[in-house]
Amino acid sequence: MSWRICFVCTGNICRSPMAESVFRARIEEAGLDGLVEVDSAGTDGWHAGEGADPRTVAVLEANGYAGEHTARQFDPAWFSRLDLVIALDSGHLKALRRLAPGPEDAAKVRLLRSYDPAAHEDLDVPDPYHGETDGFEECLEMVEAASTGLLAAVREHMEGGTA
């Protein structure tokens, strides 16, 4: 049985599809692609059915990641099939924990940057949507740094620990 992770931001066109693409690549590189399922969603449905922001796609592809994506809204019913829900900022963390049907599901929600040992006080990945390309590049750097720690946590879980 696969272990399932969903990355969540606001509209599912910038940060969460970036995290999904980066982490999917990490899973494939680690040889875990048949054991870990990765997807993403938004807390809001404003962009449901749309592709990722063109700046997200450009930054991903320029760095060797897949840029294909279709936005969708997070459904609280998914908690029952997900093992880990990764929020991209503290606002998403709070919103997702409020949506959780119970305490066990709320405990599945974690901040992405909590897996980055170099991240200290501010664990939010800033929303690059209203900025320039450099904001998307900064977002990618944060996602890549946290993905290393998240992959280690997933490996630990699969070996009998916890994520």
Consecutive H or E run containing 39? strand 36-42
Gap between the Cα atoms of 116 and 111, Å rounded:
10
Residues involved in catalysis: 9, 15, 127
CA-wise closest residue to 27 among 148, 159, 163: 148
CA-wise closest residue to 15 among 151, 150, 138, 163: 138
Cα 130 to chain centroid, rounded: 20
CA-wise closest residue to 144 among 72, 78, 59, 77: 59
